[in-house]
Amino acid sequence: MRSPTRVSSRCCFGVIPNSRTNARLITELVESLKAEGASETSLIVTHDLDFARSVSDLIAVLIGGRIAQVGPPDAVLHSTLPEVQAFMAGKAP
């Protein structure tokens, strides 16, 4: 059985990349969402790989508008797929 997907009305605008304060606030938001309903799925879009690893059960990497890989954070972040490795190294097209 698939869990329901949540589209949250709680949005974060103007988040400054690499801001420890914002990362902490977003992490608190994610933990709050988990506490409200552990069976729900929340979608978070970020370029901060450390943050993604810390709050995610699954990560999807999008390259060129398509999903290149989906999996647990460590499996994706240490991918053996050449295109994902290039993306993680900042060399993807």
Q: What tens digit of pLDDT does each residue of 56-66 get?
A: 889 999 888 89
Q: What residue segments make up the domains of the chain, in order of their start?
A: 1-55, 57-93
CA dist., res. 26 & res. 42, Å (int): 13
59 close to 52: Cβ distance less than 8 angstroms: yes
Residues 69, 45: contact at Cβ < 8 Å?
A: no
Percent of the chain past pLDDT 70, that is, above it, reads 68
How confident is the model over 19-58, as pLDDT tens digits? 666 677 777 877 787 777 656 677 777 777 887 888 888 9
Check: CB of residue 58 under 8 Å from CB of residue 71.
yes
